[in-house]
Structure 1
Protein backbone atom coordinates (compact mmCIF):
# COMPACT_ATOMS: atom_id res chain seq x y z
CA UNK A 1 0.00 0.00 0.00
CA UNK A 2 0.93 3.63 -0.43
CA UNK A 3 2.84 5.69 2.11
CA UNK A 4 2.80 9.49 1.81
CA UNK A 5 5.48 11.80 3.21
CA UNK A 6 4.94 15.56 3.43
CA UNK A 7 6.42 18.61 5.12
CA UNK A 8 6.33 22.39 5.24
CA UNK A 9 2.60 23.00 5.00
CA UNK A 10 2.88 26.04 7.29
CA UNK A 11 -0.83 25.84 8.09
CA UNK A 12 -2.29 29.01 9.59
CA UNK A 13 -5.48 31.03 9.78
CA UNK A 14 -3.91 33.47 7.31
CA UNK A 15 -3.89 30.76 4.60
CA UNK A 16 -7.26 28.98 4.87
CA UNK A 17 -7.12 27.77 1.26
CA UNK A 18 -4.05 25.65 2.02
CA UNK A 19 -5.74 24.14 5.06
CA UNK A 20 -8.83 23.28 3.02
CA UNK A 21 -6.69 21.78 0.26
CA UNK A 22 -4.87 19.65 2.83
CA UNK A 23 -8.12 18.42 4.39
CA UNK A 24 -9.48 17.56 0.93
CA UNK A 25 -6.28 15.67 0.07
CA UNK A 26 -6.55 13.65 3.28
CA UNK A 27 -10.00 12.43 2.26
CA UNK A 28 -9.18 11.89 -1.40
CA UNK A 29 -5.79 10.18 -1.11
CA UNK A 30 -4.50 9.52 2.38
CA UNK A 31 -7.69 7.78 3.47
CA UNK A 32 -6.72 4.91 1.14
CA UNK A 33 -3.06 4.80 2.21
CA UNK A 34 -1.16 2.74 4.73
CA UNK A 35 0.66 5.62 6.40
CA UNK A 36 1.30 9.36 6.41
CA UNK A 37 4.54 10.92 7.65
CA UNK A 38 4.58 14.66 8.41
CA UNK A 39 8.18 15.88 8.61
CA UNK A 40 7.72 19.16 10.41
CA UNK A 41 6.61 22.73 9.81
CA UNK A 42 3.09 21.37 9.67
CA UNK A 43 1.97 24.63 11.26
CA UNK A 44 3.35 28.10 10.67
CA UNK A 45 3.74 28.48 14.41
CA UNK A 46 2.98 26.34 17.48
CA UNK A 47 3.33 27.79 20.97
CA UNK A 48 2.18 24.80 23.01
CA UNK A 49 -0.54 22.17 23.01
CA UNK A 50 -2.69 24.24 25.36
CA UNK A 51 -3.50 26.45 22.37
CA UNK A 52 -6.10 23.81 21.47
CA UNK A 53 -8.15 24.92 24.48
CA UNK A 54 -8.05 28.60 23.54
CA UNK A 55 -11.53 29.72 22.35
CA UNK A 56 -10.21 31.58 19.29
CA UNK A 57 -6.80 30.08 18.56
CA UNK A 58 -7.99 26.55 19.19
CA UNK A 59 -10.82 26.82 16.68
CA UNK A 60 -8.21 27.25 13.95
CA UNK A 61 -6.67 23.84 14.64
CA UNK A 62 -9.63 21.66 15.66
CA UNK A 63 -10.74 20.72 12.10
CA UNK A 64 -7.19 19.53 11.40
CA UNK A 65 -7.04 17.52 14.62
CA UNK A 66 -10.44 15.99 13.87
CA UNK A 67 -9.47 14.99 10.33
CA UNK A 68 -6.24 13.37 11.50
CA UNK A 69 -8.04 11.53 14.28
CA UNK A 70 -10.57 10.13 11.81
CA UNK A 71 -7.75 8.84 9.63
CA UNK A 72 -6.00 7.26 12.59
CA UNK A 73 -9.21 5.63 13.80
CA UNK A 74 -9.76 4.20 10.31
CA UNK A 75 -6.40 2.43 10.44
CA UNK A 76 -4.06 4.84 8.64
CA UNK A 77 -0.78 5.11 10.55
CA UNK A 78 0.19 8.72 11.24
CA UNK A 79 3.66 9.93 12.19
CA UNK A 80 4.94 13.39 13.03
CA UNK A 81 8.45 14.83 13.24
CA UNK A 82 9.11 18.30 14.63
CA UNK A 83 10.16 21.15 12.36
CA UNK A 84 11.66 24.50 13.20
CA UNK A 85 8.21 26.12 13.54
CA UNK A 86 6.29 23.44 15.43
CA UNK A 87 8.90 21.87 17.72
CA UNK A 88 6.61 22.48 20.72
CA UNK A 89 3.99 20.00 19.52
CA UNK A 90 3.70 17.49 22.33
CA UNK A 91 1.84 14.47 23.60
CA UNK A 92 -1.50 16.25 24.00
CA UNK A 93 -1.66 17.18 20.33
CA UNK A 94 -0.33 13.79 19.28
CA UNK A 95 -2.88 11.91 21.37
CA UNK A 96 -5.76 14.07 20.18
CA UNK A 97 -4.74 13.60 16.54
CA UNK A 98 -3.76 9.94 16.68
CA UNK A 99 -0.16 10.71 15.73
CA UNK A 100 3.04 8.99 16.80
CA UNK A 101 5.88 11.43 17.47
CA UNK A 102 9.22 10.63 15.82
CA UNK A 103 12.74 11.67 16.70
CA UNK A 104 14.73 13.64 14.15
CA UNK A 105 16.27 11.78 12.39
CA UNK A 106 14.40 8.47 12.20
CA UNK A 107 15.35 5.43 10.12
CA UNK A 108 12.54 3.39 8.55
CA UNK A 109 12.42 0.57 6.02
CA UNK A 110 10.21 0.50 2.94
CA UNK A 111 10.46 -2.60 0.82
CA UNK A 112 14.18 -3.35 0.64
CA UNK A 113 15.28 0.25 1.18
CA UNK A 114 16.43 1.91 4.36
CA UNK A 115 15.11 5.45 4.42
CA UNK A 116 16.39 8.11 6.78
CA UNK A 117 13.80 10.79 7.56
CA UNK A 118 14.63 14.27 8.83
CA UNK A 119 13.02 17.69 8.86
CA UNK A 120 16.27 19.01 7.39
CA UNK A 121 17.03 22.15 9.38
CA UNK A 122 19.80 20.46 11.36
CA UNK A 123 21.64 19.90 8.07
CA UNK A 124 21.80 23.63 7.25
CA UNK A 125 24.97 24.08 9.26
CA UNK A 126 26.29 27.04 7.25
CA UNK A 127 23.65 29.15 8.99
CA UNK A 128 25.47 29.27 12.31
CA UNK A 129 23.14 31.85 13.88
CA UNK A 130 20.14 29.62 13.26
CA UNK A 131 21.92 26.54 14.59
CA UNK A 132 22.65 28.39 17.84
CA UNK A 133 18.99 29.39 18.09
CA UNK A 134 17.91 25.82 17.33
CA UNK A 135 20.14 24.44 20.07
CA UNK A 136 18.65 26.89 22.55
CA UNK A 137 14.96 26.32 21.82
CA UNK A 138 15.28 22.55 21.59
CA UNK A 139 16.66 22.30 25.13
CA UNK A 140 14.19 20.95 27.73
CA UNK A 141 15.05 23.80 30.10
CA UNK A 142 14.16 26.50 27.56
CA UNK A 143 10.96 24.75 26.53
CA UNK A 144 9.84 24.27 30.14
CA UNK A 145 10.40 27.96 30.89
CA UNK A 146 8.68 29.07 27.68
CA UNK A 147 5.62 26.88 28.19
CA UNK A 148 5.27 28.24 31.73
CA UNK A 149 4.55 31.70 30.31
CA UNK A 150 0.96 32.81 29.65
CA UNK A 151 -0.35 31.77 26.25
CA UNK A 152 -0.81 35.37 25.09
CA UNK A 153 2.86 36.14 25.76
CA UNK A 154 3.96 33.03 23.88
CA UNK A 155 1.89 34.03 20.86
CA UNK A 156 3.50 37.48 20.78
CA UNK A 157 6.99 35.98 21.10
CA UNK A 158 6.34 33.55 18.25
CA UNK A 159 5.09 36.30 15.95
CA UNK A 160 8.18 38.39 16.68
CA UNK A 161 10.49 35.44 16.06
CA UNK A 162 8.74 34.65 12.78
CA UNK A 163 9.07 38.26 11.62
CA UNK A 164 12.78 38.27 12.48
CA UNK A 165 13.25 34.98 10.64
CA UNK A 166 11.65 36.43 7.51
CA UNK A 167 13.97 39.44 7.64
CA UNK A 168 17.01 37.23 8.05
CA UNK A 169 16.06 35.14 5.02
CA UNK A 170 15.97 38.23 2.83
CA UNK A 171 19.51 39.13 3.86
CA UNK A 172 21.06 35.66 3.80
CA UNK A 173 22.77 33.92 0.92
CA UNK A 174 20.66 31.28 -0.82
CA UNK A 175 23.47 28.76 -0.27
CA UNK A 176 23.47 29.32 3.48
CA UNK A 177 19.80 28.35 3.66
CA UNK A 178 20.45 25.01 1.94
CA UNK A 179 21.88 21.84 3.46
CA UNK A 180 25.62 21.50 3.94
CA UNK A 181 27.09 18.60 1.97
CA UNK A 182 29.50 17.61 4.74
CA UNK A 183 26.65 17.57 7.27
CA UNK A 184 24.65 15.32 4.94
CA UNK A 185 27.55 12.90 4.49
CA UNK A 186 28.24 12.83 8.23
CA UNK A 187 24.60 11.94 8.93
CA UNK A 188 24.58 9.20 6.31
CA UNK A 189 27.79 7.78 7.73
CA UNK A 190 26.32 7.81 11.24
CA UNK A 191 23.37 5.69 10.05
CA UNK A 192 25.57 3.31 8.02
CA UNK A 193 24.74 4.67 4.58
CA UNK A 194 20.99 4.20 4.09
CA UNK A 195 19.85 4.09 0.48
CA UNK A 196 17.65 7.18 0.88
CA UNK A 197 17.71 10.41 2.88
CA UNK A 198 14.38 12.25 2.72
CA UNK A 199 13.81 15.70 4.21
CA UNK A 200 12.03 19.02 3.86
CA UNK A 201 12.75 22.48 5.28
CA UNK A 202 14.62 24.00 2.33
CA UNK A 203 11.57 24.17 0.03
CA UNK A 204 13.71 22.91 -2.88
CA UNK A 205 12.03 19.72 -4.13
CA UNK A 206 14.41 17.50 -6.05
CA UNK A 207 16.36 14.24 -5.97
CA UNK A 208 20.14 14.37 -5.59
CA UNK A 209 22.46 11.39 -6.00
CA UNK A 210 25.32 11.30 -3.52
CA UNK A 211 28.36 9.06 -3.99
CA UNK A 212 30.97 8.99 -1.23
CA UNK A 213 32.94 6.50 0.88
CA UNK A 214 32.14 3.87 -1.74
CA UNK A 215 28.40 4.20 -1.18
CA UNK A 216 25.55 5.64 -3.23
CA UNK A 217 22.61 7.44 -1.63
CA UNK A 218 19.63 9.37 -2.95
CA UNK A 219 18.65 12.60 -1.19
CA UNK A 220 14.99 13.40 -1.81
CA UNK A 221 13.75 16.88 -0.88
CA UNK A 222 10.10 17.74 -0.27
CA UNK A 223 8.45 21.01 -1.22
CA UNK A 224 6.34 23.50 0.69
CA UNK A 225 2.61 24.13 0.22
CA UNK A 226 1.42 27.24 -1.64
CA UNK A 227 -0.31 27.14 -5.02
CA UNK A 228 1.22 23.70 -5.43
CA UNK A 229 2.78 21.16 -3.09
CA UNK A 230 5.49 18.61 -3.79
CA UNK A 231 5.05 15.48 -1.69
CA UNK A 232 6.56 12.02 -1.68
CA UNK A 233 4.69 8.85 -2.53
CA UNK A 234 6.14 5.44 -1.73
CA UNK A 235 4.88 2.08 -2.94
CA UNK A 236 7.21 -0.69 -1.85
CA UNK A 237 10.66 0.19 -3.22
CA UNK A 238 9.29 2.85 -5.56
CA UNK A 239 9.76 6.49 -4.55
CA UNK A 240 8.41 9.46 -6.47
CA UNK A 241 7.78 13.15 -5.95
CA UNK A 242 4.20 14.14 -6.75
CA UNK A 243 3.05 17.70 -7.42
CA UNK A 244 -0.37 18.56 -6.00
CA UNK A 245 -2.35 21.45 -7.46
CA UNK A 246 -3.79 23.32 -4.49
CA UNK A 247 -5.71 26.05 -6.29
CA UNK A 248 -9.46 25.42 -6.52
Structure 2
Protein backbone atom coordinates (compact mmCIF):
# COMPACT_ATOMS: atom_id res chain seq x y z
CA UNK A 1 0.00 0.00 0.00
CA UNK A 2 1.23 3.47 -0.85
CA UNK A 3 1.18 6.60 1.26
CA UNK A 4 -2.32 7.48 2.43
CA UNK A 5 -3.31 10.83 0.90
CA UNK A 6 -6.33 12.58 2.36
CA UNK A 7 -8.36 15.07 0.37
CA UNK A 8 -9.04 17.28 -1.23
CA UNK A 9 -6.35 16.00 -3.61
CA UNK A 10 -5.87 17.48 -7.10
CA UNK A 11 -4.02 16.13 -10.13
CA UNK A 12 -2.82 18.08 -13.18
CA UNK A 13 -0.42 17.44 -16.06
CA UNK A 14 0.74 18.74 -19.42
CA UNK A 15 0.45 22.48 -18.88
CA UNK A 16 3.46 23.18 -21.15
CA UNK A 17 3.89 26.60 -19.59
CA UNK A 18 5.92 29.16 -21.52
CA UNK A 19 5.93 32.92 -21.92
CA UNK A 20 4.28 32.69 -25.34
CA UNK A 21 1.15 31.02 -23.88
CA UNK A 22 -0.31 33.91 -21.91
CA UNK A 23 -3.81 32.43 -21.60
CA UNK A 24 -2.50 29.18 -20.12
CA UNK A 25 -0.28 31.13 -17.76
CA UNK A 26 -3.28 33.13 -16.52
CA UNK A 27 -5.24 29.91 -16.10
CA UNK A 28 -2.44 28.44 -14.00
CA UNK A 29 -2.26 31.54 -11.82
CA UNK A 30 -6.02 31.40 -11.25
CA UNK A 31 -5.87 27.68 -10.50
CA UNK A 32 -3.14 28.17 -7.91
CA UNK A 33 -5.06 31.03 -6.27
CA UNK A 34 -8.35 29.09 -6.31
CA UNK A 35 -8.81 25.29 -6.36
CA UNK A 36 -5.18 24.47 -5.53
CA UNK A 37 -5.22 26.70 -2.45
CA UNK A 38 -8.28 24.85 -1.16
CA UNK A 39 -6.59 21.45 -1.67
CA UNK A 40 -4.51 19.57 0.82
CA UNK A 41 -2.26 18.07 -1.85
CA UNK A 42 -1.58 18.89 -5.50
CA UNK A 43 0.16 16.39 -7.77
CA UNK A 44 1.75 17.77 -10.94
CA UNK A 45 2.30 14.76 -13.17
CA UNK A 46 4.84 16.17 -15.58
CA UNK A 47 5.27 18.69 -18.37
CA UNK A 48 4.60 21.67 -16.15
CA UNK A 49 6.87 23.62 -18.53
CA UNK A 50 7.21 23.46 -22.28
CA UNK A 51 10.83 22.62 -21.58
CA UNK A 52 13.33 22.94 -18.74
CA UNK A 53 17.01 23.37 -19.49
CA UNK A 54 18.21 23.06 -15.91
CA UNK A 55 17.61 24.69 -12.55
CA UNK A 56 19.90 27.60 -13.40
CA UNK A 57 17.17 28.61 -15.89
CA UNK A 58 15.13 29.59 -12.83
CA UNK A 59 16.74 33.01 -13.18
CA UNK A 60 14.73 33.68 -16.36
CA UNK A 61 11.94 36.18 -15.53
CA UNK A 62 9.10 33.94 -16.69
CA UNK A 63 10.37 30.91 -14.78
CA UNK A 64 10.91 33.04 -11.69
CA UNK A 65 7.34 34.30 -12.02
CA UNK A 66 5.93 30.75 -12.08
CA UNK A 67 8.20 29.70 -9.23
CA UNK A 68 6.98 32.61 -7.10
CA UNK A 69 3.36 31.51 -7.58
CA UNK A 70 4.25 27.95 -6.57
CA UNK A 71 6.08 29.28 -3.53
CA UNK A 72 2.97 31.23 -2.50
CA UNK A 73 0.91 28.04 -2.82
CA UNK A 74 3.21 25.85 -0.73
CA UNK A 75 3.59 28.62 1.86
CA UNK A 76 -0.21 28.67 2.18
CA UNK A 77 -0.15 25.04 3.31
CA UNK A 78 -0.86 23.04 0.16
CA UNK A 79 1.58 20.17 -0.36
CA UNK A 80 2.78 20.09 -3.97
CA UNK A 81 4.38 16.94 -5.39
CA UNK A 82 5.97 16.94 -8.82
CA UNK A 83 6.61 13.96 -11.12
CA UNK A 84 8.86 14.70 -14.09
CA UNK A 85 7.50 14.64 -17.62
CA UNK A 86 9.22 14.26 -20.96
CA UNK A 87 9.66 18.05 -21.25
CA UNK A 88 10.86 18.95 -17.74
CA UNK A 89 12.78 15.93 -16.46
CA UNK A 90 15.72 18.22 -15.60
CA UNK A 91 13.80 19.92 -12.79
CA UNK A 92 15.88 19.21 -9.74
CA UNK A 93 16.66 19.99 -6.12
CA UNK A 94 17.29 23.72 -6.59
CA UNK A 95 13.89 24.30 -8.19
CA UNK A 96 12.21 22.28 -5.46
CA UNK A 97 14.03 24.18 -2.72
CA UNK A 98 13.08 27.50 -4.30
CA UNK A 99 9.38 26.64 -4.53
CA UNK A 100 8.78 24.29 -1.62
CA UNK A 101 7.53 21.47 -3.86
CA UNK A 102 8.63 17.86 -3.47
CA UNK A 103 10.09 15.79 -6.30
CA UNK A 104 8.75 12.22 -6.57
CA UNK A 105 10.15 9.47 -8.77
CA UNK A 106 7.60 7.48 -10.75
CA UNK A 107 5.87 5.17 -10.29
CA UNK A 108 4.38 6.88 -7.25
CA UNK A 109 2.28 4.63 -5.03
CA UNK A 110 -0.46 6.27 -2.96
CA UNK A 111 -3.74 5.33 -1.33
CA UNK A 112 -6.84 7.41 -2.12
CA UNK A 113 -9.88 6.79 0.02
CA UNK A 114 -8.66 3.28 0.74
CA UNK A 115 -7.88 2.53 -2.92
CA UNK A 116 -4.31 1.76 -3.88
CA UNK A 117 -3.23 3.88 -6.85
CA UNK A 118 -0.18 4.47 -9.02
CA UNK A 119 0.77 7.84 -10.52
CA UNK A 120 2.85 8.28 -13.69
CA UNK A 121 3.57 10.96 -16.24
CA UNK A 122 2.54 8.38 -18.84
CA UNK A 123 5.28 8.40 -21.45
CA UNK A 124 6.74 5.14 -20.13
CA UNK A 125 3.52 3.43 -21.22
CA UNK A 126 3.93 4.44 -24.89
CA UNK A 127 6.20 1.52 -25.72
CA UNK A 128 5.17 1.28 -29.38
CA UNK A 129 7.16 4.45 -30.04
CA UNK A 130 10.55 2.74 -30.05
CA UNK A 131 12.51 5.82 -31.10
CA UNK A 132 11.07 7.86 -28.25
CA UNK A 133 11.71 5.12 -25.68
CA UNK A 134 15.36 4.95 -26.75
CA UNK A 135 15.60 8.74 -26.39
CA UNK A 136 13.89 8.58 -22.99
CA UNK A 137 16.33 5.98 -21.72
CA UNK A 138 19.25 8.14 -22.86
CA UNK A 139 18.12 11.44 -21.32
CA UNK A 140 17.03 9.88 -18.03
CA UNK A 141 20.55 8.49 -17.52
CA UNK A 142 22.26 10.41 -14.67
CA UNK A 143 25.60 10.49 -16.53
CA UNK A 144 23.95 11.99 -19.63
CA UNK A 145 22.17 14.57 -17.51
CA UNK A 146 25.35 15.55 -15.69
CA UNK A 147 27.20 16.02 -18.97
CA UNK A 148 24.32 17.99 -20.48
CA UNK A 149 23.96 20.27 -17.46
CA UNK A 150 27.69 21.01 -17.60
CA UNK A 151 27.13 22.82 -20.91
CA UNK A 152 26.41 26.57 -20.95
CA UNK A 153 22.74 27.43 -20.46
CA UNK A 154 22.35 29.09 -23.86
CA UNK A 155 23.79 26.01 -25.55
CA UNK A 156 21.40 23.76 -23.64
CA UNK A 157 18.45 25.90 -24.69
CA UNK A 158 19.52 25.73 -28.32
CA UNK A 159 19.92 21.94 -28.18
CA UNK A 160 16.47 21.54 -26.62
CA UNK A 161 14.88 23.78 -29.24
CA UNK A 162 16.46 21.62 -31.93
CA UNK A 163 15.20 18.44 -30.32
CA UNK A 164 11.70 19.91 -30.02
CA UNK A 165 11.69 20.86 -33.70
CA UNK A 166 12.77 17.36 -34.69
CA UNK A 167 10.13 15.84 -32.41
CA UNK A 168 7.32 17.91 -33.91
CA UNK A 169 8.45 16.99 -37.42
CA UNK A 170 8.69 13.34 -36.44
CA UNK A 171 5.14 13.29 -35.09
CA UNK A 172 3.85 13.99 -38.59
CA UNK A 173 5.36 10.70 -39.74
CA UNK A 174 4.04 8.55 -36.89
CA UNK A 175 0.74 6.74 -36.73
CA UNK A 176 -1.51 8.20 -34.03
CA UNK A 177 -1.78 4.95 -32.10
CA UNK A 178 2.00 4.72 -31.74
CA UNK A 179 1.90 7.82 -29.56
CA UNK A 180 -0.77 6.36 -27.27
CA UNK A 181 -0.24 3.82 -24.50
CA UNK A 182 0.45 0.17 -25.18
CA UNK A 183 -2.11 -2.16 -23.59
CA UNK A 184 0.54 -4.65 -22.45
CA UNK A 185 2.55 -1.85 -20.83
CA UNK A 186 -0.57 -0.70 -18.97
CA UNK A 187 -1.28 -4.23 -17.74
CA UNK A 188 2.32 -4.61 -16.62
CA UNK A 189 2.22 -1.30 -14.76
CA UNK A 190 -0.96 -2.29 -12.92
CA UNK A 191 0.50 -5.67 -12.01
CA UNK A 192 3.79 -4.20 -10.80
CA UNK A 193 1.99 -1.63 -8.68
CA UNK A 194 -0.53 -4.19 -7.38
CA UNK A 195 -3.31 -1.62 -7.51
CA UNK A 196 -6.62 -0.97 -9.22
CA UNK A 197 -6.26 2.71 -10.04
CA UNK A 198 -3.83 4.55 -12.32
CA UNK A 199 -3.62 8.29 -13.01
CA UNK A 200 -1.38 9.73 -15.73
CA UNK A 201 -1.05 12.37 -18.41
CA UNK A 202 1.27 12.72 -21.43
CA UNK A 203 -1.02 11.48 -24.22
CA UNK A 204 -3.32 14.55 -24.25
CA UNK A 205 -6.24 12.12 -24.61
CA UNK A 206 -8.36 12.63 -21.49
CA UNK A 207 -10.56 9.62 -20.80
CA UNK A 208 -11.36 7.03 -18.17
CA UNK A 209 -10.54 3.47 -19.18
CA UNK A 210 -11.47 0.19 -17.50
CA UNK A 211 -8.95 -2.63 -17.89
CA UNK A 212 -9.54 -6.26 -16.98
CA UNK A 213 -6.43 -7.20 -15.01
CA UNK A 214 -6.49 -10.79 -13.75
CA UNK A 215 -10.30 -10.72 -13.78
CA UNK A 216 -10.42 -7.51 -11.79
CA UNK A 217 -11.62 -4.16 -13.20
CA UNK A 218 -8.91 -1.52 -12.95
CA UNK A 219 -9.46 2.19 -13.67
CA UNK A 220 -7.03 4.33 -15.69
CA UNK A 221 -7.69 8.06 -15.59
CA UNK A 222 -5.90 10.09 -18.28
CA UNK A 223 -5.48 13.78 -17.46
CA UNK A 224 -6.24 16.56 -19.94
CA UNK A 225 -3.63 18.96 -21.26
CA UNK A 226 -4.02 22.71 -20.80
CA UNK A 227 -4.90 25.22 -23.53
CA UNK A 228 -5.97 28.42 -21.82
CA UNK A 229 -8.28 26.68 -19.35
CA UNK A 230 -7.40 24.73 -16.21
CA UNK A 231 -8.61 21.10 -16.35
CA UNK A 232 -7.88 19.03 -13.27
CA UNK A 233 -8.86 15.85 -11.49
CA UNK A 234 -10.15 16.07 -7.94
CA UNK A 235 -10.32 13.31 -5.37
CA UNK A 236 -12.63 14.12 -2.46
CA UNK A 237 -13.81 11.47 -0.01
CA UNK A 238 -12.38 8.83 -2.33
CA UNK A 239 -14.44 9.97 -5.33
CA UNK A 240 -12.69 11.13 -8.50
CA UNK A 241 -14.22 13.99 -10.51
CA UNK A 242 -13.01 15.86 -13.56
CA UNK A 243 -13.24 19.62 -13.20
CA UNK A 244 -12.21 22.65 -15.22
CA UNK A 245 -11.57 26.24 -14.22
CA UNK A 246 -12.34 28.54 -17.14
CA UNK A 247 -10.79 31.99 -17.30
TM-score normalised to the size of structure 1? 0.95
Change (3 A) 1:172 1:244: farther
Q: Is the 8 A contact 1:8 1:203 kept in 2?
A: yes
| 1:109 maps to which of 108, 111, 117 | 111
Q: 1:172 aligned to 2:178?
A: no
- Runs (5+) with no aligned partner, structure 2: 1-6
Q: Give deviations 1:127-168, integer Å, cap 9, x for gaps.
A: 000000000000001000000000010000010111111111
The answer for the alignment partner of 1:7 in structure 2 is 13
The answer for the alignment partner of 1:189 in structure 2 is 191
- Aligned CA RMSD, in angstroms, stands at 1.0
Q: Distance in 1 between matches of 2:86 and 2:223?
A: 15
Q: Is the 8 A contact 1:66 1:97 kept in 2?
A: yes
The answer for the alignment partner of 1:148 in structure 2 is 150
Q: Distance in 2 between matches of 1:229 and 1:223?
A: 9
The answer for the alignment partner of 1:40 in structure 2 is 46
SS at match of 2:47: coil
Q: Is the 8 A contact 1:146 1:154 kept in 2?
A: yes
Q: Is the 8 A contact 1:205 1:230 kept in 2?
A: no
Q: Distance in 2 between matches of 1:72 and 1:110?
A: 21
| Equivalent residue runs for 1:48-197 within 5 Å | 48-53=54-59, 58-192=60-194, 194-197=195-198
Q: 1:230 aligned to 2:231?
A: yes
SS at match of 1:136: helix
The answer for the alignment partner of 1:24 in structure 2 is 30
Segments of 4+ in structure 1 off by > 4 A?
none
The answer for the alignment partner of 1:203 in structure 2 is 204
Q: Give deviations 1:47-102, integer Å, cap 9, x for gaps.
A: 0000113xxxx101112111111111111100000000000000000111111101
**Deviation for aligned residue 1:243:** 2.9
Q: Is the 8 A contact 1:223 1:229 kept in 2?
A: no
SS at match of 2:176: coil
Q: Distance in 2 between matches of 1:227 and 1:14?
A: 12
Q: Give deviations 1:172-197, integer Å, cap 9, x for gaps.
A: 111000000000001111111x1210
SS at match of 1:122: helix
TM-score normalised to the size of structure 2? 0.95
Q: Is the 8 A contact 1:38 1:80 kept in 2?
A: yes
SS at match of 2:178: coil
**Deviation for aligned residue 1:225:** 0.5
Q: Distance in 2 between matches of 1:208 and 1:214?
A: 15
